[in-house]
Amino acid sequence: MLGNPSDANEGAHQTISAAVNIFGSVSVSGAERLTLTCAETGDESQSCSESLVLEPQEKFAYGTPFDLQIAAFNILLQNSEEFRQKFGAPFPRLCYRTEIPRQSGLGGSTVLVLLTLVALVNFYKLDRRVHNFYFLGEIAQRAEEVELGITCGFADRYVPLLGDIAYLDYRGKLFHKPVKAEPYVTYEKLGSYVDYFPLVIVFPGVPHESGDVHGRMRGRYLEEFKGFRGDYNSGPFLVRQMHLIGEKAWKGKIALLESDWKRFGELMNENHRLVDEMMTYCGFEAGAGRANNMVIERARSIGALGAKLTGAGGGGSVFVLCDPGKVDDVAQELKSLLQNEGYKKGWVYIPSIVHQGTVVLA
C-alpha cells in the first residue's frame, strides 16, 4: 500500500502492506512417491494440468514447472535439521490451487513457496516453535533469491503468512544476509483500527518478471549506497528516493490510524511519483509502465483519492484508494478503460482485508 519497494529490495525502510482475499491453497496426502501437482480447478477431484514425481535427494535439481516448490524443499533442507532427519516415506503428495493472476505483482509466485513450506512443516510435524511463520517468511525469501536467483524483498514473504494490514519495518535487512544473521521483519498489525478499506485492485494483464526489474534497481541502489555518508538530503539519487519512499509508510500509518483517507491517498500518489522517477532513472523507458500509469491517471481523473503501483513495474498491478461509497463506480470505470484500450486479459477486483493470514486445516 505504501513504502514499496523499500522492503529491503532497494532499501531497508518500511512499508504498509495488506493481505487481501485472493487465495492460494495446497492439499497434502501421504503417498509412496514424492509428488507435486497443479489442479486445473478448485475441485481436487479434477485432473491435474501438471504433475511431477521426484526421487528424494539432498538437493533437488531445477528446470521444471515446479521450480518454486522445489526451491522450498531445498531451502528447508538447508535450514532445518529436523526436516533433514524426518524427510522420507511416506512422502507428501502436494496438490496446488491458486486464483492469484500470474505475474500480477500480487505475490502469486511467492505463495507457492509459502504453501510448500507450511505443508511440509505440518506433514512431517516439525516443531512449530522453531518453524514459525517469521522463520518461514525468511527462508521463503532465500528460496527465491538465493536458490532461484530472483531478486526480491520481504513483504510478499511475510504478509500471506501473518495476514492483516500491517506496518512492516525492515531495518537491518538491506544486505540480505543469511537467515538469523540479520533481524526478522518487525510486523505490526493495524487491522483493528480499520473498519473498511475503500480499495480497488487493477491488473492490466501485462505479465512481468519482478526479479528482472528489481535486479536492475537493487544492483544500482547498492552501488550508490557505497558512497552514502548518512545525509539523505545530499545522498545519491536512489538512496535519497528510497528514503523518501520509506517515509510515506510511517506517515501513512498515522493517516491510517486516523482513517484520514484523503491524506493516505496523497501519500500513495507521492509514493508512485517517486517510484516512476526511480524506474525512469534506472533505464525503464516507460517508468512504472505504460498500462499502470494509464490506469493511475484515469483513476485520479475520476476522483480516486490515490493510486500507485504494487509489485515491480512494467507489469504488476495498481492499488486505487477511493472515497468510501464510490468504490463500485471507480471499479466499473476502470474495467471499461481496460476493455476500451485493448487490455483483454485485464482484471479489476474489489478486495477485502484478510486478518487471519495462513490457515492450516487438519
Q: Per-residue pLDDT for 45 more than 60?
A: no
* Torsion (CA) 359, 19, 38, 316 in degrees, nearest 10: -170
Q: What CATH number should be reported for the domain holding residue 300?
A: 3.30.70.890
Same domain flag for 138 and 280: no
State the Cα–Cα distance between residues 202 and 282, nearest whole angstrom.
Answer: 25
Same domain flag for 209 and 333: yes
State the Cα–Cα distance between residues 214 and 224, nearest whole angstrom.
Answer: 15
Same domain flag for 211 and 339: yes
Domain of residue 254 covers 14-18+189-349
Same domain flag for 206 and 330: yes
310 versus 75: which is more confidently predicted?
Answer: 75
Same domain flag for 263 and 305: yes
Residue ranges with strand state E in 186-256: 186-189, 199-203
Same domain flag for 135 and 220: no
In a domain, residue 260? The reply is yes
State the Cα–Cα distance between residues 262 and 127, nearest whole angstrom.
Answer: 45
Write down the pLDDT at residue 42: 44
State the Cα–Cα distance between residues 82 and 220, nearest whole angstrom.
Answer: 39
Of 147, 162, 177, the residue that ends a domain is 162
Same domain flag for 301 and 221: yes
Write out the three cell numbers for 26: 495446497
Write down the pLDDT at residue 106: 86
In a domain, residue 308? The reply is yes
In a domain, residue 9? The reply is no
Q: What CATH number should be reported for the domain holding residue 127?
A: 3.30.230.10
What is the total count of domains within the chain? Answer: 2
In a domain, residue 179? The reply is no
DSSP helix/strand/coil, 12: strand
State the Cα–Cα distance between residues 29 and 41, nearest whole angstrom.
Answer: 18
Same domain flag for 49 and 94: yes
For 273, the enclosing helix (H) or strand (E) is helix 261-281
In a domain, residue 37? The reply is yes
In a domain, residue 175? The reply is no
| pLDDT tens digits for range 311-322 | 765 678 899 999
| pLDDT tens digits for range 145-198 | 999 999 999 999 999 999 999 999 999 999 999 999 999 999 999 999 998 899
Write down the pLDDT at residue 48: 55
Same domain flag for 193 and 331: yes
pTM of the complete model: 0.92
Of 127, 162, 197, the residue that ends a domain is 162
Same domain flag for 216 and 336: yes
Same domain flag for 195 and 118: no
Write down the pLDDT at residue 14: 96
